[in-house]
Structure 1
Amino acid sequence: MNAPHPPKVAGIDPAVPTPAHTVAPTPPAPGAAPSPDSALPVTSAPAPGTLLQDRLAAWVSDLTTLHELTERLSRTNALEPALEELLRAGSALVGARRGLVVLEPGDGLGPRTTIGLGLGRADLGHMETVPPGSLPYGTLLDQGPGAGAEIVHADLLAEDGLDPRHREVAARLGYAASYALPLSTESAGRLGAAVWLYDEPAEPDEHRRHLVGLYVRHAAEHLARLVEVERTRASMTTITEELLPSRLPRVAGVQLAARHRTGPRGGGDWYDALPLPDAALGLSVGSVTGSGPSAVAAMGRLRASLRAYAVMEGEDPVAVLSDLELLLRLTEPARSATALFAYCEPVLRKITLAGAGHSPPLLIGERRTEFAETSVSAPLGMLACWEAPSVEIQAEAGETLLLYTDGLLHRTGDPMDRAFARLHAAAASVPRTLRRDPGAVADHVLRTVLPDGMDTADSGEDVVLLAARFD
């Protein structure tokens, strides 16, 4: 076992700037002779205002540092970036190179995650093999609201009673000391813990502990708000997914695939595929205005009503949308919606469709990629009486009908004409090897239109794609 190392004060590479003024050394008492071993000259007492100036300069420096760090944290609007910023700022304040933050709300409602600074997934996996109570942040996850304890391991290798597995992992990852703080608020309770790791025996001094304590208290309040936002988003996504088809039906002569992503505020976009009498198939996509729980609820009501109308008179898409428009005006007078309904006869590869203020579907095949232009019409609920003629499309074997909502176009950030051009180009570029699979067609279109993905696109819009490939 290695010999004990005297703990050092953290801060070999300080990130908190040292004030320009320093406190002068304390002069010897009057009449006292200087030490014979001292080579330093005897200095006179500082001017009366020097100590105050030095103290004020130090306070200003600390406040400036905390202001800059908290401003950076406040600009984060999602949990992962906020946790990463917390680790970086805390690392600068305590003088550590690596660390990790464990998000584990005490109420058990999630979300739960672990993010490392200078630690890979494998490193975090090694730390998870340590018994929970022996981790560097150990008991912090058992404490309740307002927990103010810290856990300091100034020299892990020389510490008596350290769990053997913890010692083994510390040696494997190359850290010799740790400093951990709880993340908690009075209102939200325990959120998790943050821990910073030192490459050699060390611990932050009182000044650094004070600064990081102030910062972490502010960070915990910010994280508590982001946790609530994340929970709301997850709830909205779950509710929306439950209101949409859990699986698509199997109908002879056609293959179906759908892609859907709910926006961060919860939107009212839907899709549906419904087997109808005489081996027919009804396809619909639509979008209710607004966002949040009320829009999601309205979407569920409209989708359910459209299914009923489709069963009764699906062969006439205009009648289906006319009934839906009347229902909307009577039950949702403050809302409007766009919708598209297609009555498909897979054996004949015949499609009859009507749209209400909705973007036209795409027909993708070997010899053509074109929009199936529906007649121009207003959204549902915008006119006293809605009606527009239907159009008929004759699909060829192997062609795919792609229905989508406007959210796909809006997420591009382009003007609508450019967004339509991008969508058409994406559909035309589907490789031949993928055209037999409607899911692969939808994925290719998504990757091409939204190269950054549905999650990272800078938009709150829902995204819906419904692809039907005719045999």
Structure 2
Amino acid sequence: MLDIPSRVRVHVETPLAAQNDMGVCDAFEQYAPVREPDTMNAPHPPKVAGIDSTVPSPAHTVPPASAAPGTATVPAPPSGPLIPSAPGAVLTDRLAGWVSDLTTLHELTERLARTDVLADALTELLHAGAALVGARRGLVVLEPADRLGPDRTIGLGLGRADLGHIETVPRSALSYGRILDGLPGGEREIAEPDLLARDGLDPRHREVAARLGYAASYALPLQADGAPGRLGAAVWLYDEPAQPGERQRHLAGLYVRYAAEHLSRLVELERTRVCMKTMTEELLPSRLPRVPGVQLAARHRTGPRAGGDWYDALPLPDAALGLAVGSVTGSGPSAVAAMGRLRASLRAYAVMEGEDPVAVLSDLELLLRLTEPARSATALFAYCEPALRKITLAGAGHCPPLLVGERRTEFVETSVSAPLGMLACWEAPSVELEAEPGETVLLYTDGLLRRTSEPVDRAFARLHAAAAGVPRPLRQDPGAIADHVLRTLLPDGQAEQDSDEDVVLLAARFEHGGADCG
């Protein structure tokens, strides 16, 4: 992650280089002066539970030689005198220190680069920074200067209530506030080695610092190279008066500079993800219709790249109801746009000839083949008569619906057919079924099965088992049925995690002949 060959510059003292015949080092540029860092207080037990980093704080500074030129000394055991050492020993120690520091930076930046979610990257930044500056707690405030978001605050060793207390302090009195608001002194690092002893400290800041038990802070701005404004600021807190040494500041600055570049990319990715999700949601029903005799519920999860999975439910003439699910090939803006066009076209065909699902899909296939010959799609359309609990459906390369009731849980047998746009002319027979009172029909897209990462046959078996295992009290609510199936089929929050596969689950529960769904 760090261009080590181009960044390492070794400073060699001229007399020492001459004595060791290392004139080649004279060509190297000075990277940073080697000085004795400020002494930091011994670690104290944290007043708020902290998180110990797995990467040790690099402290490889070697004290400069104080003897006459040509003679170097190294610390001796406490009971012995200073022992003269070869001049090359100091150089070796310094080089070892630089290599160790750069190795630590490399490991930390590698760990940061493996994060592909913004929240994880911010948490990793806090952990690594705490190790580099020798702190136990901290917080990072993400607040892009362009005000386009995302805005969030994440703490290390600080609970939500602690962050709330800090937010009650006037922003101008906080180091990260001065950085984010562009106040004087906020364009670079801000070290506050002894907050409580500082004259003019805001009374509310003093109160919060005493309450949370921190006495010093060190803040750095988060700004990517070439970016017009700051992304945010990171602050690390000390339990006692303290500040990082010069070497620690230098290493933390290098790390945060790289972290800002990584965070900038993740911010753009997050914005794209939110934009695509908003577009998809706007193209799907904002609410489901209320039709006497049937209860409806829908669950939709879109991945970061936004696929073309969709669903629809629309009232039709003669108190009928049209249900549809489908998926277009591809992902991204083009797939979302195609999904919107396909759904709008199906609604029009359903209003005109919804009682014949085969005709609806045939018209849809012709439109797709003429207007988008390079794209294919799967779809399933069901014409429902709630008063009779009668369903007539047809599918084009789509997964069969699942019927869930008190006495049966079974897939509806539909004819095998090709997806829309795959053949010169699509046609398949329709299927009729009658639901019992209280039974629920589940329509879904293949993304639900793909997210399980199981072979198709095993994914179908798991879906059947999840539906059959819905507890009896939940079977009165189609939304509860859908949630139970998602949690069982995709445990540990997999349904909410980012995935290349969209998920659509549409549940329709039929009541006793024509009863109001409430």
Asked if Structure 1 and Structure 2 have the same fold, meaning a TM-score greater than 0.5 normalized by the shorter chain, the answer is: yes
The answer to whether the aligner puts 1:258 opposite 2:320 as a matched pair is: no
Contact 2:306/2:336 (8 A) holds in 1: yes
Pick from 340, 346, 350: which aligns with 2:386? 346
**Structure 1 position 311 matched with structure 2 position 351:** yes
Partner residue of 2:334? 294
Corresponding residue for residue 3 of structure 1:
none
Q: What's the offset of the Cα at 1:466?
A: 0.7
Counterparts of 2:297 and 2:439, CA distance in 1: 14
Specify the SS of the correspondent of 1:162: coil
- Hey, what's the Cα distance between the residues in 1 that align with 2:442 and 2:327? 16
- Answer yes or no: is the 8 Å Cα contact 1:446–1:453 preserved in 2: no
Q: Which 10-residue stretch deviates more, 7-16 or 440-449? A: 7-16
> For residue 16 of structure 1, what is the aligned residue in structure 2?
57
1:345-382 residue CA offsets vs partner (Å, 9 max, x unmatched): 01010000000110001111111111012100111111
More displaced, 225-234 or 129-138?
Answer: 129-138
Which range is displaced more, 60-69 or 426-435? 426-435
Q: Say whether the 8 Å CA contact 1:411–1:458 is kept in structure 2.
A: no
Query: Per-residue CA shift, 1:329-348, capped at 9, x if unaligned?
Result: 11111111110000000101
SS state of the match for residue 235, structure 1? helix
Contact 2:39-2:245 within 8 A present in 1 as well: no
1:9-49 deviation digits (Å, cap 9, x = unpaired): 26759923444x9457421589xxxxxxx9974654x4343
Going from structure 1 to structure 2, the CA distance change for 1:92 and 1:10 (only over 3 Å counts) comes to: farther
Instruction: Report what 2:124 is aligned to.
Output: 85
1:433, distance to aligned residue in structure 2 (A): 1.1
The separation in 2 between residues aligned to 1:395 and 1:39, in whole angstroms, is 92
Partner of 1:322 in structure 2? 362
Partner of 2:11: none
How many angstroms does 1:171 deviate by?
Answer: 0.6
Q: Does 1:116 align with 2:147?
A: no
More displaced stretch, 47-56 vs 292-301? 47-56
Matches of 2:430 and 2:406, distance apart in 1: 26
Query: How many Å separate the matches in 1 of 2:494 and 2:443?
Result: 17
- Match of 2:164, as an amino acid? G
Could you tell me which runs of 5 or more consecutive residues in structure 2 were left unpaired when the two chains were aligned: 1-37, 45-54, 71-77, 512-518
1:452 positional shift: 2.0
- Cα RMSD of the aligned pairs, angstroms, is 2.1
Query: Structure 1 residues 42, 172: closer, same or farther in 2, change over 3 A?
Result: closer
What residue is the counterpart of 2:196 in the other structure?
Answer: 157
Confirm or deny that 1:96 pairs with 2:135: yes
Q: Helix, strand or coil: the match of 1:190? A: coil
Secondary structure of residue in 2 paired with 1:354: strand
CA offset digits 1:243-300 (Å, max 9, x no partner) = 0000111111111111111111011000000111111110000001110000000000
The residue aligned with 2:455 is: 415
Q: Structure 1 residues 462, 387: closer, same or farther in 2, change over 3 A? A: same
Cα 1:24–1:192 shift into 2, 3 Å: closer
Indicate conservation of the 8 Å contact 2:179/2:187, yes or no: no
Separation of aligned partners in 1, 2:108 and 2:41? 19
Amino acid at match of 1:283: L
Contact 1:260–1:464 (Cα < 8 Å) also in 2: yes
Alignment partner of 1:341: what SS? strand
Are the equivalent residues in 2 in contact too, given 1:412–1:449 (CA < 8 A)? yes
* Distance across 2 between alignment mates of 1:227 and 1:26: 50
Distance 1:98 1:39 in 2: 38
Once the two structures are TM-superposed, the CA of residue 403 in structure 1 deviates from its matched residue by 0.4
Q: Is the CA contact 2:303–2:500 (under 8 Å) kept in the aligned structure 1? A: yes
Which residue is equivalent to 1:434?
474
Structure 1 pair 17/152, CA: closer, same or farther in 2 (3 Å)? closer
User: Is contact 2:304-2:498 (8 Å) kept?
Assistant: no
Counterpart residue identity of residue 412, structure 1: T
The aligned length equals 455
CA contact (8 A) 1:356 1:378 kept: yes
Matched, 1:229 2:269: yes
Counterpart residue number, 1:60: 99
Question: How many angstroms apart in 2 are the aligned matches of 1:12 and 1:54?
Answer: 25
Matched residue type, 1:162: L
Tell me the equivalent position of 2:18.
Answer: none
**2:8 alignment counterpart:** none
Q: For each residue in 1:212-237, what CA deviation from the matched residue of structure 2 results, as whole angstroms up to 9, or x when unmatched?
A: 00000000000000000000000000
- DSSP 3-state at the match of 1:435: helix
CA distance in 2 between partners of 1:273 and 1:335 (Å): 24
Query: Where does residue 27 of structure 2 map in the other structure?
Result: none
Change over 3 Å in CA distance of 1:254–1:190 after alignment to 2:
same
SS of the residue corresponding to residue 105 of structure 1 reads coil
Separation in structure 2 between the aligned mates of residue 51 and residue 75 of structure 1, nearest angstrom: 36
| 1:156–1:18 CA distance, 2 compared to 1 (3 A) | closer
Name the CA distance, whole Å, in 2 between partners of 1:303 and 1:443: 25
Q: 2: CA distance between counterparts of 1:64 and 1:423?
A: 48
CA separation in 1, counterparts of 2:69 and 2:333? Answer: 74
Q: Indicate the larger mover: 133-142 or 153-162.
A: 133-142
What is the one-letter code of the residue matched to 2:346? L
Q: Is the 8 A contact 1:10 1:95 kept in 2?
A: no
Q: Quick one: structure 1 residues 18 and 204, their matched pair in 2 at CA, closer, same or farther if it must change by over 3 Å?
A: closer
Unpaired runs of 5+ residues, structure 1, are 1-6, 31-37
Cα contact 1:261–1:454 (8 A) shared by 2: no
SS at match of 2:441: strand
Percent pairwise identity: 77
Q: 2 CA distance for matches of 1:148 and 1:135?
A: 14
What does the per-residue CA deviation read over 1:103-150, in whole Å, with 9 as the maximum and x for residues that have no partner? 011111100110000111111111111111112322110239xx7511
How many angstroms does 1:412 deviate by?
1.1
Choose 414-423 or 62-71, whichever is displaced more: 414-423
Please give the per-residue CA displacement for 1:54-111, whole angstroms capped at 9, x wherever unaligned. Answer: 2221211111010000000000001000000000000000000000100011111100
